[in-house]
């Protein structure tokens, strides 16, 4: 049972980590494109 719990925790932490990285990448990508549009507008 301990092995199953350990695997579940590992999967959950990895899922949380991947979601955080995905959010950061999206935020950076959005700000990058906003910056590019502003740059092109000028």
Predicted confidence (pLDDT) per residue in 2-42, tens digit: 666 667 888 889 999 999 999 999 998 888 888 888 777 65
pLDDT score at 18: 94
In whole angstroms, give the CA distance from residue 15 to residue 32. Answer: 25
For residue 21, the model assigns a pLDDT of: 94
Name the DSSP class of 1.
-
CA quadruple 17, 22, 27, 32: dihedral sign: positive
* pTM across the whole model: 0.51
Count of residues making up the chain: 42
């Amino acid at each position: 049972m301990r092995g199953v719990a350990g695997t579940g925790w590992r999967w959950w932490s990895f899922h949380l980590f991947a979601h955080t990285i995905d959010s950061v990448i999206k935020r950076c990508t959005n700000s990058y494109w906003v910056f590019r549009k502003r740059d092109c507008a000028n």
